[in-house]
Amino acid sequence: MTGLESVFARARTEGRAALIGYLPAGYPTLEGSQELLAAMIDGGCDIVEVGVPYSDPVMDGPTVQAASDKALRAGFRLRQLFEVVERISSHGGQAVVMTYWNPVHRYGVDAFARDLAAAGGQGIITPDLIPDEAATWMKASDEHGLHRIFLVAPSSTDQRLEMTAKASSGFIYATAVMGVTGTRDKVGAGAAELVRRTREHTSLPIGVGLGVRNGEQAAEVAGFADAVIVGSAFIQAAEADGTDGVRRLAAELAEGVRSPR
């Protein structure tokens, strides 16, 4: 069983959803990001999603964009991603990487997969790589034992849900609303429906992201999904209160995923 699979198995046994927290590597600095990610795990995140800062993050709202810019301005280099992942692994955490595809392509898809696996990383979430274009990644992920976490959206047709589910492993990332990342007052009503439609095509766990910011919303999403994914709210917590803020938010969300509604 891979690290991710055992996380989901344990959560299922405990009758709860898993908690996945996102922060960009190198934000606000390389050292700082390692502390924030450690705080996230200490606070109760089951899986951390390490973002690769990128110059053109079209799926991200202003909060993640600003954090990515900060990391790049602080001098983040792609190879440092693997140090960050390694630190999480040695901290006992489970890391997946979230990255736009061009940095991986430029690094070399196979080399990236090899180095990520060596650092203990579990897989990659690919916001702008759809299975239709992923032949090289399918091969490299098989070779290096990494999970392929593709996205599904409320606009995905049943045919695409089926195709995407077949290409995925580890879990499936369901985007709750049509839009970019960022905290929202309400998680889209379409999220539960999307999870239901996706389940018809897969037995993989389904995580829901985009918009969740507090324990109450986490509890709501935990009522119909296998994982709750939180990003922008962690950046806002880090901006406001650093590691304390991140640990506190993780604890609140961890409680939320344990009280599914």
Please state the closest distance from residue 254 (CB atom) to other proteins, in A: 28
Question: Is residue 73 a contact point for other proteins (CB under 8 A)?
Answer: no
| In 27-153, beta strands by DSSP E | 47-51, 94-98, 123-125, 147-149, 151-152
Quickly list DSSP for 136-155.
HHHHHHHHHT-EEE-EE-TT
Using CB under 8 A, which residues numbered 43 to 62 contact other proteins?
54-59, 61-62
Of 14, 35, 49, 252, which residue is the catalytic one? 49
End-to-end CA distance of the chain: 29
Question: Is residue 130 a contact point for other proteins (CB under 8 A)?
Answer: yes
Annotated catalytic, 49?
A: yes
Q: Which two tokens stand for residue 172?
A: 């499936």
Please state the closest distance from residue 130 (CB atom) to other proteins, in A: 6
Angle at 99 between CA 71 and CA 112, to 5 degrees: 100
Of 60, 220, 226, 252, which residue is the catalytic one? 60
| In 80-231, beta strands by DSSP E | 94-98, 123-125, 147-149, 151-152, 172-175, 206-209, 227-230
Residue with Cβ nearer other proteins (94 or 232) = 232
Of 149-157, 200-208, 213-221, 227-235, which part binds other proteins (CB under 8 A)? Answer: 149-157
**Of 77, 139, 186, 261, the one binding other proteins by CB under 8 A:** 77
- The dihedral built from the CA positions of residue 97, 100, 102 and 105, taken in this order, carries a sign that is positive
Please state the closest distance from residue 78 (CB atom) to other proteins, in A: 4
Q: Which two tokens stand for residue 180?
A: 């970019």
How many chain residues interact with other proteins (CB under 8 A)? 41
Annotated catalytic, 60?
A: yes
Q: Which two tokens stand for residue 84?
A: 């960050």
Please state the closest distance from residue 53 (CB atom) to other proteins, in A: 8
Question: Is residue 27 a contact point for other proteins (CB under 8 A)?
Answer: no
> In the complex, which residues of this chain contact other proteins (CB under 8 A)?
54-59, 61-62, 65, 69, 72, 77-78, 100-107, 127-130, 132-133, 150-157, 160, 164, 175, 178-180
